[in-house]
Amino acid sequence: MQREGASLSADKSAVGIVGTGFTARGLARALRRSGEFAVGAVLTRRREAHIPGFDDGAITVSPDDLIERSAIIVECSGDPIHATDVIERAVAAGRRVVTMSAAWHVAAGSYYHGRGYITEAEGDQPGSLAALAEDSRAMGFDPLVYVNVKRFLNHAPALDEMSHFSKLYGISLPQVVSFTDGTKLQLEQALVANGLGADILRQGMTGPSATLVNDGLDQLARAACEHGKPVVDYVLTGEAPGAVMILARHDHQEADALRYLKMGDGPL
């Protein structure tokens, strides 16, 4: 939402990227392939003259320069405090902001409600669940459980193991730890619950562990029905890769069609 008097001098296809890590590099490659968007500028706090994966001319250390050269800002630095500083300036300048950080939304997002166009990207779990929920409602379903499917969870990972994967994949050590110990999972599902009006069954969620994913989903469905309100939760299973799912009730008028499609007798 552009505020009155705000300048949008940048090309409308110019996308500004905040951060130069794993996610930012992937985004820059995607923008180059798109044929529709271009990298306007890339904001970094690094001191290197050249950062692999980015054109030198796009790199800037000035948030104001980033905003001036970009019509849309994509925040993917992984640092909620740094993100807040940049987003504050972007919103004041009338720029649209797309985030890739559930942590930022949980920490500061509510403060910016109604202050501009700010949205979480589709692709990671919260954005994908929001899109899936929209589709499911259009098809006559009423979401009951917003599920994050994980293959593993280690609440106390070893430092040497986390350091190994950090170097292997080029992802910061804090991020690797957050992926492993459930921090990222909790933040993501907090954002989903806040954004889609869901609840939790208990502090930390329940996270049933199941050999077959459907067994874990059945447990969550029963618990949510007893709870009487949509909830967020997760399932631990080695059967499925990382995914999101929605357990939902269906409109009774769709029962025959769903039975024909071999999706069971419902109502879930």
Q: What is the CATH number of the domain that holds 29?
A: 3.40.50.720
Confidence of residue 1 (pLDDT cuts 50, 70, 90): very low
Q: What is the pLDDT of residue 10?
A: 64
Same domain, 31 and 109: yes
Block residue for tokens 């562990």: 209
Distance (Å, rounded) from C-alpha 141 to C-alpha 268?
A: 9
On whether residue 66 sits in a domain, the answer given is yes
Domain count, the chain: 2
Of the pLDDT bands very low, low, confident and very high (cuts 50, 70, 90), residue 9 is: low
Same structural domain for residues 116 and 129? no
In this prediction the pTM is 0.84
Token pair of 14 as six digits? 């110019």
Q: What is the mean pLDDT of residues 20-39?
A: 93
Domain end (from 77, 99, 120): 120
* Average pLDDT across the chain, whole number: 91
Please return the burial class of 45, using the count of CB atoms within 10 Å of its CB with bins 0-12, 13-18 and 19+: exposed
Same domain, yes or no: 85 and 20: yes
Report the distance separating Cα 35 and Cα 32, nearest Å.
7
Taking the C-alpha atoms of residue 153 and residue 207, their distance in angstroms, rounded to an integer, is: 10
Same domain? For 138 and 221 the reply is yes
Scanning 97-145, the segments in alpha helix (DSSP H) are 102-108, 125-138
* 100 and 172 assigned to the same domain: no
- List pLDDT tens digits, range 54-112: 999 999 999 999 999 999 999 999 899 999 999 999 999 999 999 999 999 999 999 99
Our separate counts of H helices and E strands in the chain read 10, 9
Closest CA to 204 of 183, 225, 223, 224: 183
Domain that holds residue 169: 125-260
pLDDT in tens, 110-143: 999 899 999 999 988 999 999 999 999 998 899 9
Which residues sit opposite 61 in a β-bridge? none
Q: Do both 70 and 92 map to the same domain?
A: yes
